[in-house]
Chains A and B, each alone.
Chain A
Amino acid sequence: MSSERDCNRGLPSVAELKTLVERALETARQRGASAAEVAANASQGLSVKVRQGEVDTLEHMRDRGLAVSVYFGQRKGEASSADYSAGAIDETVAAACEIARYTSEDPCSGLADAGLLARDVPDLGLHHPWGVSAEAAIELARETERAALDVDSRLTNSEGAEVSAGEGVRVYGNSHGFIGGYPASQHAISCAVLGREGDAMQRDFWYTAARAPEWLESAAEVGRQAGRRTVARLGARRLSTRQVPVIFDPSTARGLIGHFVGAISGGSLYRRASFLVDHLDRQVFPAGFSISERPHLPGALGSTPFDGEGVATRDRELVVDGVLRGYVLSSYSARKLGMETTGNAGGVHNLCVAPGEKDLDELVADVGEGLLVTQLMGQGVNTVTGDYSRGASGFWIENGRIAYPVEEITIAGNLKEMLRHITAVGRDVDTRGSIRTGSLVVEGMTVAGE
């Protein structure tokens, strides 16, 4: 048994993970693979949750992973493990090679084209470790929850406030000779509180997430937002069934853009399982509506110098003046479509909906009468047809102002129509994810209720 002093292990360095990746690539070569790619990820973090002023949980996270893909000509095999020992790496590569004996020749399989791989790995300012102690994190969580519960005397209970700090290292390499990696961090503060009015209870939450601790909203602000949002939902009513304009707030609007991304993703397109099949260079959104991808925004949550296949990421325009100008493709799906990868193996990197001029209050005033949606429930979205039907809660708008909270209703329509009927984008952009959008106003949806 090894000495107990060895056990105080920190995060591996980029150089250490590169050594592992190179070892795995070499093992694959020795086992006869004609090509191989390996991704190694390691992360560690701390998360504390305080509920009603007392510590609820204190968690130490530490995760590792090594994912290997091997190619024998056009046949592919994959295997992964959390074990970084030399023996385990060999076993993982062997398992991937064994799988490749049974998969079929696939003319589209293989590494990304060598010419598309990132030539350098720019420092995008993604690594800002927090180093917060458990005690300090607990105190921040206490402050968050206290600020939430202080908002209103009807806030009678809490699910707690959580503070998390995390960092990780990512390395990717392949047998074209590419190897790149970088460290990154992510921290968050969140809070969920409950309010009671009569017999009815409501819960809502707020969170902040960023790569650097100093970019987080303050604990007190997160708490106040959580408290205000819960209080605003007290006394929620239902609506009768009707056709109305709907404002999606920035967090629900992100979901809507996410469905669009799903429909223009290579996997949906080459399977012809998307309502946007064959829509390149066609009007999908109204004139004036634009979406761009900005993978190199310094310190942003969706930033990355290269995608999941080592392909260099770059700025590009997906939607210009409402016209679809680009898909979301990996090498594989691109080959299936006879196109070139867009550097989106693994997803989109800071997809930015061009913001409008107005804030949410002004959008509410413009709509006059309609529904503001702040939460959606369920999975009722069919990417093949675009049929959309989800549970919703939010606020009824009357005379250009919020009239009262609503719940237990659904909103329904077809995504193809919904995207074409986005009449306004807010300037209230939410930056807490890979998709950045302000509120979206969609005309003519069906609300089902009483």
Chain B
Amino acid sequence: MTSEVMERNLGLARECLLAPAGLAESDLDRVFGQLMGPGVDASDLYFQQRRHESWVLEDGIIKDGSRNLDQGVGVRAMSGEQTGFAYSDEIVMPALLEASRAARAIARSGDSGRLQAWQAASGRSLYEPVNPLETFTSDEKVELLRSVDAEARRQDPRVEQVIVNLSGVHDVVLVAGSDGRLAADVRPLVRLNVSVIAADGERRESGMAGGGGRTGYAVFTERDQALGYAREAVRLALLKLDAVEAPAGTMPVVLGPGWPGVLLHEAVGHGLEGDFNRKGTSAFAGRRGERVASPLCTVVDDGTMPGRRGSLNVDDEGNPTGYNVLIERGILKGYMQDSLNARLMGEAPTGNGRRESYAHLPMPRMTNTYMLAGPHDPGEIVASVDRGLYAVNFGGGQVDITSGKFVFSASEAYLIENGRVTRPVKGATLIGNGPDVLTRVSMVGNDLALDGGIGTCGKDGQSVPVGVGQPTLKVDALTVGGTQT
């Protein structure tokens, strides 16, 4: 934890969010004076300014470009299990006072919490406070898109369509809590996506690839990273042109390293978020200390990885992010918490309080969720399967946290026949039961990898950027939703 970094970020955030309205800490005292009425035991303000840009190349031309500016302040008052919330897209004193009146209406009687003296919180230094939008000139952005388009088209004459999307976000946040906590973060985020359509006679297929992280645009030109996405998208589309029907039924499944970690996000991640466990609505509720996975499995949620899409210096409640062990050698160790759920469960916050924007309430959310490497050689894992599926790329997934049932959709998969990877198969959804799928993990590879930085997680209508990862692993029985019976 570096206090200099927090002081620097606080300085940047004050200048960007408070200074234009002439607000200072003493004005915040006045807002909290109104917010912390009878019955309110904690409250916070979340100031945010978010600049976003997007550039789209299609049909070989720069077709669209857009810029968006959104700023505002969210005001939250908590009383026991109750939360009052209001927000304003104007950061000015009258709007702050109006929002505090609305938020504090949740409680009418009882002791009021006291506002503590302001103190800078501690935070991490996982990325530079750059504005990605300014790291390239417009000409350089356009040139980047064109080079990616050319690289994709150069791969194969069957490439019919190429769409390249470049986006950047500069997000400045400042959190002030009634416990005196004052925290700020300056969060860059970039992403580049390539989507291609390839055609062979009547048959058409799409392929997608991309990546990004909390940095400037230069990440895409260093080591020709973005050209690699172009080649990957084309490879996937061409591969799918040759794919046969996917099998239907329950069989051994070998999942490749990296992005297939979406398995962990859906199967166990959501079910271990504190709110669902406090309310007893998760299939994992009350199971801490129990075996929920094979002893080969250790799963962590780690918001502290430098530059990663899911990483944060502080979470959206001003708590430092953490390296949180969720499952250790198969035993359920802990939940991911925001401050409300941590307080109500008598636990410490874990730095997982996140929100989509100032206009949304924070909730326990994942950051970068992955499984640690195991002892097995990936080749040996595939060789151990007689007949099954080898799935290495996925689209999204979804989980019903109450029944524990989850799905994730393979976009690149192959049959395994007699220990060898053979034909590519069409996309298929895989379905399983979160609380027992990891108990069926019989081999874990030594090849841990994280995804490339394109994941977005949705919960209660709120989207936040996340990361996933895992080594190659074998699930002895998982249901594959193909058509071939």
Contacts and interface: CB of A to CB of B under 8 A. Distances in A.
Interface of A: 1-4, 6-8, 51, 54-64, 76-83, 88, 91-92, 95-96, 98-106, 109, 134, 157, 159, 194, 200-203, 233, 236, 241-243, 271-273, 277, 375, 377-380, 382, 384-385, 387, 389-391, 393, 407-414, 446-450
Contacts of B90: 83
A412 B98 contact: no
23 contacts: A6-B94, A7-B95, A62-B87, A64-B89, A77-B65, A79-B69, A80-B67, A81-B69, A102-B138, A102-B141, A103-B61, A194-B402, A273-B204, A377-B400, A377-B405, A378-B407, A380-B428, A391-B405, A391-B429, A391-B431, A410-B480, A446-B485, A450-B250
Given A377-B407, A408-B433, A81 B204 contact: no
Nearest to B95: A7
Contacts of A51: 81, 279
Contacts of A380: 395, 407, 409, 427-429, 481
A76 B64 contact: yes
A93 to B, nearest CB: 11
Contact of A59 (B69, B86, B407, B433): B86
B431 A63 contact: no
Contacts of A448: 248-250, 431, 479-482, 485
B396 interface: yes
Nearest to B142: A102
Interface in B77-99: 81-90, 92-95, 97-99
Given A57-B82, A379-B396, A157 B280 contact: yes
Nearest to A105: B61
A378 B204 contact: no
B197 A271 contact: yes
B429 A7 contact: no
Given A80-B68, A391-B429, A3 B480 contact: no
Nearest to A100: B65
A33 to B, nearest CB: 14
Contacts of B3: none
B35 to A, nearest CB: 14
Contact of A60 (B69, B83, B102, B248): B102
Given A202-B402, A389-B481, 9 more contacts: A1-B22, A63-B89, A78-B65, A78-B66, A81-B69, A88-B69, A380-B395, A408-B479, A446-B248
Interface of B is mostly: strand
A272 B405 contact: no
A17 B361 CA distance: 28
Interface size class for chain B?
Answer: 35 or more
B82 A56 contact: yes
Contacts, number: 264
Given A82-B70, A194-B281, A412-B428, A104 B62 contact: yes
Contact of B66 (A80, A88, A104, A134): A80
Given A1-B92, A377-B398, A241 B204 contact: no
Contacts of B67: 78-80, 95-96, 99
Nearest to B98: A7
Nearest to A445: B483
B283 interface: yes
A411 B47 CA distance: 45
A64 B92 CA distance: 16
B281 A157 contact: yes
B256 to A, nearest CB: 18
Given A61-B359, A448-B481, A81 B397 contact: no
B403 A446 contact: no
B139 interface: yes
Interface in B126-175: 138-139, 141-142, 160-161, 163
A334 to B, nearest CB: 16
B429 A378 contact: yes
Nearest to A47: B85
A7 B98 CA distance: 7
B85 A60 contact: yes
